[in-house]
Amino acid sequence: MNDDAIKKLQDLLNNQKKPERFKIRDLDVETVTKMLYLCYQKEVGNRRIAFNGDKDTKDKIEKTAKWITGDYKVGLMVYGSVGNGKTTLLRSINLMLKSMYSPDRGWDENLSIEYVTAIEIFNITKSDDQHRYKRIKDCDVLFIDDLGVEPITAKVWGNEISPITDIIYHRYDEQLCTIITSNLSDEALKERYGLRMADRMAEMFDSINSSGVSYRQ
């Protein structure tokens, strides 16, 4: 056995940096929780709805703050029934990060953030807007709202494409931060997108259950 060759390979592997997903490194969990809470209040206020700050909302915000400042999976899935704050939470995280990481804020001028619904991804694919599609695939932080309501495949120039699957596979391979909302359960995701996709998502995403009654009632 050639020990020198094995050692050389081991040294090469040790020197290769593993991909790191984006996280907030500058602030502690308590600070980020308060910042995210403020953004959540702002998003609720934008829709002229009274904000009551119930236990479920506070719990979701605290879990999200812990995830985005810690060493967890590369993706976050917020799931649950309709109307209980999933999109508001997603918009709140987006608002916080864009406020922090804008060029004049002093955190990181190069952080690219995209917010899109699953339906928009389908429409972007149908319109063959390759520049926008590439930005969505490759950005540092991607928000996808309402996964599961979009058509699964789109036809572009006669070719059938599964844009959500393509984007998730790519971001899984590149270990890019991806935050998603969906009304679908694990079993429903598996049935809709197939076992291979569901298997990758299970490895890729931590999850937060957005429970409770609809705030729209």
> pLDDT for 166-197, tens place per residue?
999 999 999 999 999 999 888 898 999 999 99
Question: What pLDDT was estimated at residue 75?
Answer: 97
Report yes or no on whether pTM surpasses 0.75.
Answer: yes
Q: List, edge to edge, every strand of the sheet that includes 113-117.
A: 113-117, 141-147, 177-182, 75-79, 205-209
> pLDDT for 91-101, tens place per residue?
999 999 998 88
Q: Is the pLDDT at 216 greater than 70, yes or no?
A: no
Q: CB atoms < 10 A from the CB of 108, how many?
A: 15
Give the fold, CATH level 3, of 73-209: Rossmann fold (3.40.50)
Q: Is the pLDDT at 1 greater than 70, yes or no?
A: no
